[in-house]
Structure 1
Amino acid sequence: MPIELDVTPSAPPFAADRLSRRGMLGVTAGGLLASGCATTSTRTTAARSACLPPVHASADRVIRTVAGLRPFRPAGFRVEREALGETALVHNYGHGGAGITLSWGTSRLATALGLPGHRGPVAVLGAGVVALTTARLVQEAGYPVTLYAEQLPPHTTSNIAGGQIHAYGHFDSDAVTSEWRAQLDAAYDYSVRRFQIMAGDEYGIHWLPTYVGGGSRGGPHMPDFRILDRSEHPFALDSVARYQTMYVETGRFLRTLSRDIQIAGGRFVVRRFAAAAEVAALPERLVFNCTGLGAGALFGDASLYPIRGQLAILLPQPEVRYAYNGAAGYMFPRADGIVVGGTYEKHVADPTPQPQDIADILTSMNGLFSGFRCS
């Protein structure tokens, strides 16, 4: 029975089939100097920029380990409308490793498919980031909304996400169409703009400089990208680039967005759907499917499969105000702890962190930061 809630480089790289989530890519403004890095008026800006506080990635600083399952489709996310009996069903799922990044954008595409001409209340399936952004856009268009989900925040896959605004690992290049790429561009542009106007402590969205280890090229949505001189960074790597992007504290963001939905009259109903016929029986005649991996069984999408990503959360280091991506893994600093990862394990459906994999992540991070040179 449904329950309605009334809530007022010395480190060894990862193996090729378990690459760091953002291993080939790479932001926080200001305050890059650690308290232990002496500066004088005669030092150059480049030298001061090279003085970054290292992350202490020892096992005794781990406060949590988690593993999330990314809902991956080779053909990329699915935003498509179809009829389910008398119900209009709009799909919005399959974002792979880009769920946070593309959430606002694909939700805008989905609502543009579903809302025109519709009258009456709207249902959203799911309570992860894509479901929440879809619900919020439905409300902004003036419709009442109910979200039906088996799990609510903080127990969703979105809560585990690292939160970097940079799309990664969400399609196979030989499986997508030019039409889908146009959707991707539109979704990316809108999402970035939407996150920009929400930046700040309330939603837990902040800009950080991101350092990228290894060969990398700039691209769209990578402001201020450039290859650094050796004097401009402390990493013991042959090639390092830096650019700016936003990071989302996923727990705070999901919690605050859920609050916004409730303040605007939205309802959350805890419910599991075993078959599409149960969705068709809902009183709402327009339903947005934002169930992520659940869409595979519920709506028969055989192309959808999980990619597991494991990470560890370390004790916070407020002085660390930069992020890192590279072959050694990734590091994203947040108020709730420093996130280090990760793995990219295709077709692995067990959401349990593996001790040896977590140990490998820490070893890799320690190798990266122990080689720091503060010029």
Structure 2
Amino acid sequence: MRTRWSSDVIVVGGGVIGLATAVVLAERGLRVRVWTREPAERTTSAVAGALWWPYHIEPPASARAWALRSLEVYEELSGRPGETGVRLVDGIFGGPDLAGVESWAAGRLAGLRRTTAHEYALGPGIRARLPLIDMSMYLPWLRRRLLRSGGTVEERTVSGLAEAEAPVVVNCTGLGARELAADPSVRPVRGQLVVVENPGVDTWLVSTGPDGELAYLFPHAGRLLLGGTAEDDVWSPEPDPKVAESIVRRCAALRPEVAGARILEHRVGLRPVRGTVRLERAELPDGRVLVHHYGHGGAGVTVAWGCAEEAAGLVLPAASS
């Protein structure tokens, strides 16, 4: 097989799921190429708020297992924040029930406890120290790690997965799977956020108001990410000024110093949501192995490493045969 093909695996899709999957495969000795329509810095992954948490992803049991495995990786990467962009940061979730979180994360989340009324006055909440990832640093680092392992990244658009020139093809195309895998069940959940100058906020905060609207603040060096939205089946990639105003207003209600912060950027991302993550082995029309790996919703960063390792388990027997 190695004499016929120039690579063992082609991963189609260059977001965080595709890159993590490619890294795992390359570090296990396979010759891996990533085909991506656009560089990682212009994918949905680049827009992610990127706080570690299994958000908007099914099925819960698998997602939590993938997330906890990924947590191990991010904890290790947090030792090199200037290189990887991964830090462990304290913060508060307003609303979650501690017992529910402890049922799957007991003993794994640093500093996990209920909030006090002084810390969060709007009701019940939990406090924990979680990975917060600067995607502007992390995605280029992930690509460099792939290249160091002998993988390659090529920018190209495909009209069909069978175009990939390898014995095994891994489909990590997110929303692109609607067409490439003929799967209309994968759909967008639009997220919008506002980037402002950081007025001194050094902890993250996620809060769901009584009206169900989400507000979050994620601090990075020199900037603060404010969010957010979760609009089902909305395809527009353009920021909505009224939505942006509402985001800033909700965040300022939680941290008043945000109200006067200078706006640096508006971002929109379309989360690839599916009833459940599709992680399964199939065949291309010519009999070659196809591994579907998409539909991670708002938790792609959170589950990437655990999910990539499971995907690699589907790839390796075929790629080494």
**TM-score with structure 1 setting the length:** 0.60
Stretches (4+) displaced over 6 A: none
Aligned 8 A contact 1:206 1:246 in 2: yes
Aligned 8 A contact 2:54 2:64 in 1: no
Aligned 8 A contact 2:193 2:228 in 1: yes
Aligned 8 A contact 1:236 1:371 in 2: no
- Stretches of structure 1 that go unaligned for 5 or more consecutive residues are 1-85, 87-117
Give the CA deviation at 1:120. Answer: 5.3
- Inter-partner Cα distance in structure 2 for 1:320 and 1:159: 22
Listed as ranges, the matches of 1:272-287 within 5 Å are: 272-275=157-160, 279-287=161-169
- Inter-partner Cα distance in structure 2 for 1:182 and 1:343: 25
- Inter-partner Cα distance in structure 2 for 1:296 and 1:270: 20
- Structure 2 counterpart of 1:331: 217
- Inter-partner Cα distance in structure 2 for 1:304 and 1:264: 31
Query: Residue 316 in 1 paired to residue 198 in 2?
Result: yes
Change (3 A) 1:282 1:238: closer
Aligned 8 A contact 1:313 1:337 in 2: yes
Aligned 8 A contact 1:315 1:337 in 2: yes
Query: Residue 361 in 1 paired to residue 240 in 2?
Result: no
Query: SS of 2:177's equivalent?
Result: helix
- Stretches of structure 2 that go unaligned for 5 or more consecutive residues are 210-214, 259-321
Aligned 8 A contact 1:213 1:240 in 2: yes
Query: Residue 203 in 1 paired to residue 89 in 2?
Result: no
Change (3 A) 1:309 1:326: same
Q: Which has the higher strand share?
A: 2
Aligned 8 A contact 2:54 2:63 in 1: no
Greater relative contact order, per chain length (Cα 8 Å cut-off, separation 6+): 1
Query: SS of 2:97's equivalent?
Result: coil
Give the CA deviation at 1:128. Answer: 0.4
- Structure 2 counterpart of 1:261: 146
**TM-score with structure 2 setting the length:** 0.70
Aligned 8 A contact 2:7 2:32 in 1: no
Aligned 8 A contact 1:236 1:368 in 2: no
Query: SS of 2:89's equivalent?
Result: strand
- Inter-partner Cα distance in structure 1 for 2:230 and 2:61: 26
- Inter-partner Cα distance in structure 1 for 2:117 and 2:57: 33
- Inter-partner Cα distance in structure 2 for 1:332 and 1:185: 22
Query: Residue 340 in 1 paired to residue 226 in 2?
Result: yes
- Inter-partner Cα distance in structure 2 for 1:120 and 1:152: 20
Q: Which has the higher helix share?
A: 2
Change (3 A) 1:336 1:348: farther
Percent identical across equivalent pairs? 27
- Structure 1 counterpart of 2:238: 352
Query: SS of 2:49's equivalent?
Result: coil
Query: SS of 2:33's equivalent?
Result: strand
CA-based RMSD: 2.4
Give the CA deviation at 1:362. Answer: 0.6
